[in-house]
Amino acid sequence: MIDLKDKYFHIYKWNAEEKRTKINRQGWVRDYDPEQHIALVHFFNFLDGDQSPQQYLKKVTEDWVFYDTDDEMNEAYLESQRLSKDDEDWARKTRESRKKWIEENAIEE
């Protein structure tokens, strides 16, 4: 069984207007039940990288793509958007903000 706890993710959704799949949500898996494929997640805001203070239970489907690190998730986002250098600087700043938040809110084992 794959443990998705502490993984980062994108959820993709079909965009009929552009006729392609696009990243619809992004976030971090706080906990995961592999038997029911249910994840306790925090979503990240696309505009500023801030985390939602709420936690959500979501069914994991084939529309999810997981990453080991926040850097990998950001690289995938940049690649999907083909962003400029200014956007890459913005992405680096939001990545730093997310890392700090996760460190401050990690569950103690």
Structure tokens at 97: 């903000």
Q: What is the Cα–Cα distance from 109 to 99, expressed in whole angstroms? A: 19
What pLDDT, on a 0 to 100 scale, did the predictor assign at position 44?
Answer: 87
Asked if the structure places residue 20 within a domain, the reply is yes
In a domain, 22, yes or no: yes
- Note whether residue 75 is domain-resident: yes
- The one-digit pLDDT tens for each residue of the chain (109 residues) are 678 999 999 999 888 887 778 888 999 999 999 999 999 999 988 766 677 777 899 999 999 999 999 889 988 888 887 655 556 666 667 667 777 777 777 655 4
Residue 49: predicted pLDDT: 66
Facing residues of 7 across strands? none
Domain that holds residue 69: 8-105
Number of domains in the chain: 1
Residue 2 lies in a domain: no
CA angle 67, 36, 46 (to 5 degrees): 35
- 83: its two tokens: 């962003």
pLDDT at 2: 78
3 part of a folded domain? no
Q: Which of 58, 77, 61 is nearest to 69 (CA)?
A: 77
